[in-house]
A and B are shown apart, each in its own frame.
Chain A
Amino acid sequence: MNETLLETANLYALGLLTEAERTAFEQELRFHPALQQEVHALQEAALLLARSAPQVAPPADLRGELLAAFTAGTSAPAVATAREPIQKPMVVPASVSAVPPRAGSPLKILHFIPWAAAAALAFFFHQNQLATDDARLQSATAQAETAAAKSREEHYVEAVSASAAAQAQSDANLAQARAALTKAEAALAALSTERETLTAELAVLRKDSKLDKTRIAVLGSLLKNQPQAVAVSLWRQESQEGLLVVENMPALAPGRDYQLWVIDPNQKTPVSAGVFKVDAEGKVRLEFKPAHNVQSAYKFAVTIEKEGGAMVPNLEQMVVIGG
């Protein structure tokens, strides 16, 4: 629906169109169900404006006056002002003389018979016309109310369907959220268990007074094709002993070894701490002791060297480092 049509719909609902514009728009409206729906909604909104006026009941006598006007048929004036109230129909029988009976005549009573008959006839037609017009109005308005009720019912059915679809979507979202929550709770439980295990191990280590004197270093991967490669070094300065745990390290070509180095700022070159290979899963657990005394283990690094190791590290082939 284009913007111009929507703008016109606004003006139509507010009664701001000229008669010609209104007629043209109503023609359009009859063949445009989506526009009808839009206009009806806007009219309901405009009705709020109407209802915002202070609500005052009309004068009580107006109802009866209107009903009387209906009996006069459609020839009654479209508008009768309060200063010129709607005239009730007056029926004068054609067969009756308008001349009133003479007073004192012995046949005076007979003169009233035609008048009485005419009055009765007028009353009968008046009542009959009243009933017919009222029935006509009731029928037409009932028709209108039925059409409106049907429209409202369709609107409600659509609303209920939309609501059901939204509810189904909401239920699906809720189920997803619940599944995610369950998963998160399981992960949290696993982490809690792991934490408890580590805490217990830590307690044991502390009890043995080993951990306080042990340096732990995590060596991160420098390999672009194996970023998850990792190694952890546990180093005891006092005894000059260490333990290297490696995971996710790629297997080497024949004739090659990994070599562990301890970097000591007090020495010109890194100190070799042994060579190793990894298993099929890229793992190894290596207890090491450097080739000579280390005053300060600043960092640990692993390089790829020729089988059996080298005296100095090939820095271009460094795979992990950390401290």
Chain B
Amino acid sequence: MYDRHSTLLYSVALKVLADPEEARDVLQHVFLTLHEKAGRYDAALGRPAAWLATMARNRSIDRLRSLKRERTYAEKFRLEADPAEFSPTSHDAPAAYSDEVEMLQGAVAQLPPDQRQALELAYFGGLTQQEISDKLSQPLGTVKARIRRGLLKLRESLDGLLNS
């Protein structure tokens, strides 16, 4: 379980928090929680990978909000984290890139920029739709539509990848 999912969960935490130490804490928390609550896993709520990713993402966002109270948002959060900064060379273990991951990343990259931006602000930035609306100076309805369409497009891409 750890070997299968740790890279994904750590990467999500790192993307949200942009801090390897904080990302490490999140990963610890997720697996300790899993250890304590695995028996309560409910398949109705999603596949394990999705469940774990959501847990890692939510924990990261909670942590990010906590940190924001201590530091200014601008100093801490960077939406477009530079991947090179967190390159595999800065860690003991190599990055787990694969064809599949590249293909899936391609699906996100192909989203229209406005939809991708709204989704990333929501997913990695932890911003509510109202906060995204304020940040981008766009009507709330527009933000909701971008998120809905973006997610729908990702779903279609995923269907396409599964069927290909």
Contacts and interface: CB of A to CB of B under 8 A. Distances in A.
- Which label, helix, strand, loop or mixed, suits the secondary structure of the B interface? helix
B35 A50 contact: no
A48 B150 CA distance: 11
Contacts of A61: 92
Contacts of A137: 1, 34-35, 38
Contacts of B91: 56-60
Contacts of B34: 137, 141
Contacts of A63: 2-3, 6
Contact of B44 (A30, A52, A81): A30
A74 B1 CA distance: 19
Contacts of A16: 122, 128-129
A143 B28 contact: no
Contact of B53 (A50, A58, A136): A50
A168 interface: no
Contact of A49 (B3, B23, B123): B123
Given A7-B144, A55-B8, A141-B48, A43 B54 contact: yes
B133 interface: no
Nearest to B1: A141
Contacts of A118: none
Contacts of B155: 41-42, 44-45
Given A16-B122, A56-B7, A47 B44 contact: no
A157 interface: no
Interface in B75-101: 81, 83, 86-88, 91-97, 101
B10 A58 contact: yes
Nearest to A22: B58
B151 A55 contact: no
Given A7-B144, A14-B151, A148 B32 contact: no
Interface residues of B, number: 78
Given A79-B28, A137-B38, A141-B48, A58 B7 contact: yes
B42 A30 contact: yes
Give the interface centre of B32, B34, B51 by most chain A CB atoms within 10 Å.
B32
Interface of A: 7, 10-11, 13-16, 26, 29-30, 36, 39-63, 65-66, 69-70, 74, 76, 78-83, 86, 133, 136-138, 140-141, 143-145, 147-148, 150-152
Interface of B: 1-3, 6-8, 10-12, 14-15, 20-21, 23-25, 27-29, 31-36, 38-39, 41-51, 53-54, 56-58, 61, 81, 83, 86-88, 91-97, 101, 104-105, 107-109, 119-120, 122-124, 128-129, 144, 147-148, 151-152, 154-155, 157-158
Given A46-B54, A52-B104, A81-B21, 12 more contacts: A10-B148, A16-B129, A39-B46, A43-B46, A50-B53, A54-B14, A54-B86, A55-B97, A56-B7, A58-B24, A62-B24, A70-B35
9 contacts: A40-B46, A43-B50, A46-B53, A46-B151, A49-B119, A50-B8, A51-B104, A66-B2, A147-B43
